[in-house]
Amino acid sequence: MFNGYMTLEDVDVTAKRVFVRTDYNVPLDEHGNIVDDTRIRETIPTINYLLDRNAKIILASHLGRPKGKRDPKYSLFPVAKRLERLLGREVKFLPDCIGPAVEEAVFSMKEGDIILLENLRFHPGEEKNDPEFAKALAKLAEIYVIDAFGTCHRKHASVYGIKDFIQPVVMGFLLERELKYFEKALVNPQRPVVAFIGGAKVSSKLGVIKHLLDKVDKIFIGGAMAFTFIKAQGYDVGSSLVEEDMFDEALSIIDKAKKKGVKFYLPVDFICGQAISEQTPVIEVAWQEIPKGWMGLDIGHASVILIREILKDAQTIVWNGPMGVFEIDKFKMGTFELAHAIAESPALSIAGGGDTDYAIHKAGVVDKISYISTGGGAFLELLEGKQLPCLEAITKVK
């Protein structure tokens, strides 16, 4: 049980048909090869637990955005092959996820068999949360497990509507682990809690920043967002990216931080270029000195020293979003140095979001971050203080 919700350990799965909704939405290259299998590996504890109990395991997921139509580009077949390699046993792949042929295959499963169904989003009913589609999925199983953290912020049939057609619906180990770490970081944290938020736009992180002000002791805003906060206060930022329509929001955030006693930090210097390109000349200047025609594209070395100071007494660290245009070598230093500074801290650290995850891997510090979330959008919704819709689908313990 976790927070009143049923987990895998609350049900007897022995020899039962167990449907596991995973999030195998993995990145593929142009040849259809899996570039990063983290999301597959992270579901192995759930699968192994079921195998130990001789369950009949039916795995399902979406991949990409096939828009409700069958599209071979988004087939989960490569995932079945990777799973076979990781588990060292056969994973039978079915070319659909509902219908008579699928039912026949599922109802003739033996104990310990594993089936992976084809992409749920090949049917429009998945994203439309169509009850008929949910019902067809529910028909396949005796127990339903949601382990697709990365999809848990969506009201789709397989993670939401399903609850009306099968009980119990329980949490898998991956979903449980995500929520547990989130709680450790922001619900019952050891203080001080320090948040680092980066990325391009204040508008897309507004909810996150506002909510974090109620939770954290210190917040550092990096990435292009910093310029909106600087310019909102009346200072010049050269040609750096700003969102003028966010000035009032930015000022009210600074004000709220002040009232709440949250220490609010912005970078103190920037690495600037004349264009977002590898070829641009660069200069490194204090924030007050960004010349006309130049844009801040990364935080500077003084800001990195500041970050290390901020982290000195941290007990808990939350990180989302890059500090600069880290996709370009000239502007990746700040993001990578932040990854290293967090990795070197003994504090509990959680990080999430596609870019953040990528930067942590590239910096080679994966093992030194306490928890890296597998969900971008779902992680941000938790940071915003929203309840994940999938929790409404999970059976409550009486």
Binding residues vs ligand AMP (CB under 6 A): 199-201, 204, 223-224, 241, 296-297, 321-322, 324-325, 327, 355
Catalytic residue among 16, 17, 21, 39, which? Answer: 39
- Residue matched to tokens 């009980």: 167
Which one, 11 or 271, has the nearer CB to ligand AMP? 271
Q: How far is Cα 222 from Cα 244, in angstroms, rounded to an integer?
A: 17
Q: In the annotation, is 354 catalytic?
A: yes
> Measured from the CB of residue 301, what is the shortest distance to ligand AMP in angstroms?
16
Amino acid, single-letter form, for residue 24: Y
Report d(CA 43, CA 354) in Å as an integer. 18
Minimum distance, C-beta of residue 200 to ligand AMP, in the bound complex (Å): 3
Q: How far is the CB of 323 from ligand AMP (least distance, A)?
A: 7
Please report how close the Cβ of residue 223 comes to ligand AMP at its closest, in angstroms: 4
Label residue 329 exposed, middle or buried (CB < 10 Å: 0-12, 13-18, 19+): exposed
How far, in Å, CA of 196 to CA of 37, rounded?
A: 26
User: How many beta carbons lie within 10 A of that of residue 49, not counting itself?
Assistant: 17
- Distance CA(59)–CA(61), nearest Å, equals 7
Which one of the listed residues 354, 364, 386, 396 is annotated catalytic?
354
**Residue 293 a catalytic site member:** no
- Indicate the residue among 174 and 212 with the shorter CB distance to ligand AMP: 212
Specify the residue for token string 């290293």.
Answer: 340
Give the amino acid at 144: Y
What span, in angstroms and rounded, lies between the C-alpha atoms of 239 and 156? Answer: 42
Specify the residue, 66 or 198, whose C-beta has the smaller distance to ligand AMP.
198
Please tell me the distance from the alpha carbon of residue 288 to that of residue 354, in angstroms, as a whole number. 31
Nearest CA to 191 among 263, 272, 126?
263
Q: Measured from the CB atom, is 14 or 204 closer to ligand AMP?
A: 204
Q: Which residue, 55 or 380, is less far from ligand AMP as judged by CB?
A: 380
> Pick the catalytic residue: 64, 68, 238, 377?
377
Q: How far is the CB of 382 from ligand AMP (least distance, A)?
A: 16
The residue type of 372 is: I
169 versus 297: smaller Cβ distance to ligand AMP: 297
Minimum distance from residue 256 beta carbon to ligand AMP (Å): 21
For the CB of residue 330, give the shortest distance to ligand AMP in the complex, in Å.
12
Q: Where does residue 51 rank: exposed (0-12), middle (13-18), buried (19+ CB within 10 A)?
A: middle
- Catalytic residue (choose from 139, 201, 263, 308): 201
Indicate the residue whose CB is closest to ligand AMP.
199
CB 137 within 8 A of CB 164: no
Residue 234 annotated as catalytic: no
CB 197 within 8 A of CB 212: yes
Q: Which is nearer to ligand AMP, 296 or 389 (CB)?
A: 296
82 noted as active-site residue: no
In the 3-class helix/strand/coil scheme, how is 131-191 assigned residue by residue?
HHHHHHHHCCCCEEEECCHHHCCCCCCCCCHHHHCCCCEEECHHHHHHHHHHHHHHHCCCC
**Contact between 320 and 354 (Cβ < 8 Å):** no
Q: Known catalytic residues?
A: 39, 201, 354, 377
